Structure 1
Amino acid sequence: MLELLPLLLIIVPSYSNIVQNCPNFCLCYESSNLVECRNQNLLSVPHHLSHSTWMLDLRHNNLSRLDPASFQALWSLRILLLSDNRIEKVSPRSFRSLGFLERLDLSYNQLSSLPFDFSRGLGSLRELRVPSNRLTVLSYESLRHLESLEKLDLSKNFLASVEQGAFRGLSRLRHLHLQSNLLYAIRGGYFFMLQNLELLDLSDNNISSIAVESFTSLHSLRLLALSDNQLSHLKFKTFINIQTPSTHMQVSGNPWVCDCDLQRVFGKINSVRHLHIDDYENLTCAGPPQLLGAALDSVDSQLCVAETATVLVITITVLVTVIAAIVMAERNRKKNQDKNWNELDGPFETQDK
């Protein structure tokens, strides 16, 4: 049904299908129950829309807020398009009558938060798009009733952190887009209960650390995007906990510190049959200084060799020092022993004379 949306938007209906008592500045197509109000500089949602309206297109207008009366009695609405407006506030209970809504697009607006009951009444929603807004916080209460949601796009916002368990009510979620935010760490519990999640996009954030248990419950994950963050090291346990038939990862664009530990982690990951690093050949070193800009796959075989050589040199140095100390101690012992014998010989020689 949702896949037919682009076709519905470009179909030019015959004039016999246009409803005569349509709100001003809108086009209403009776055959598809579609109401189109794009690019009309509307300041509010048109009233007196037909109860049988199936899709409402309000893109590219000047809406600044949504309130409980905005979509009152639109029980048949399946698709609601509100992108490219100036919406700053969604009042509580704004979507309470949209029990059959399947797709909601709020992209390119000015929302800084979602009300605590944002999801109330949206039990049938399958796709929610809120990219390119000003969201700074995300709470469990705002999303808890979206039990049918399959796709959630929160990209290009200002999210620095996510409330623990914010997504735990989204048991059917398959795609989660969090790229281009300000996340600095991934903590355990962020993605708890998302057993059907197939795509997790965390690219283009400020992530420098990932809790070992972060991805443990993601049993269906196919793509994990971690590119363009601030990761310098990884822990192998973080990824071995991903128990899936096949998971592809993207990790380029991070400031990797190329050392033996990093080489071992990537070596272990590449040896696991169900884990695949798609862009390994694109990884470059940000440290140490002598490897700045070098491709990791061109130096990875040397990293542990260099470390082994360093350890070997240190070990040999320590060993030589210990041996030298032993030799010196032995020499001193013999010297002292000879001295003591000489001192003992002295009195006997005197008595003989």
Structure 2
Amino acid sequence: MHRRTLLAAPALLSLPAQAQTGYPDRPINVVVGFLAGGSTDLAARLLIDRMAPHLAPQARLIIDNRAGAGGSIGAEYVTRQAPDGYTLAVQSASSQGTNPATLPDTVRYDPVEDFTHIAILGGGPMLIIVPGSSPHRSVADLVAAAKASATPPLWASSGTGGIGHLTGSLFTHRAGFRGEYVPYRGGSAVLEAMRKAEVDFSAEVLASAYPHVRDGTSRPLAVTSLVRHPLLPDVPTLQELGFNGFEVVTWNLVQGPKGIPAPIVARLNRAAMESLAEPTLRRRLAEAGVDPAEPSTPESTRAFAASELAKFRSIVRETGLVLGRG
């Protein structure tokens, strides 16, 4: 690591000047660690569509889906790229929070120290959902059936160690039953499994699940925020249902490899903030289930990432999560 940094140093010296003149003079690769169609992919595509013209007239931002391991494959890939502003990432709470908290011996990057922090994009709650064909109409129905069954219910999320895995584990822990966990490679794969009723329930990001809720292939039983969500005003919070203090929300950050020069970071942050200030983008994000973030700086983005990581580590301590089990 140190040798690579030293070898790259001469090239890096010219980057601040480049940031103020020709940057970007080629396409910018925006890594998303999930399959196309999931919540992080959706948020990334909505953002880059508006961010490019704010960055520069010639700017082109291209999504690069590198799915797997709850976003960690994409995140690790980003750490190996040159810190020149031509590789960015729209990261998730899974890759930058829950995976490092639940898989400390497997995740090969530090989610705070190994990245350049640029901006907070937005976020939203998780949903406890069942297939549209499920007989369960409430969390109470689901919990009662789980406790009465001789076999644990099957439940899914979009990757071992991801935010859905941690949310579902916290839910089963506090509800007092054991489920059998089934990991998938992304939110779209989970929701296809829900459509086919291959699993009994899932903890899924609202932005991914909402289209399936609208078409009836999934049924929401609860949201994991402390207040109800405007898209689903009739769906109660777990807090309301007696799960005191249950709050897990997902989020997306714009980051890059560690060491992107400050002038480039400032331009990227400004472009992201100008994009997120647009009423049209904010409306499109909200309609998709992504609550757009308030203005953020690179410094506040880093502080947010660190605080969320600490929170997820506290949930892991509470649940005693053993990966591969519900």
TM-score category, normalised to shorter length: under 0.3
User: Comparing both structures, which one devotes a greater share of its residues to helix?
Assistant: 2
Larger Rg computed on CA atoms: 1
How high is the TM-score relative to the length of structure 2?
A: 0.20
How high is the TM-score relative to the length of structure 1?
A: 0.19
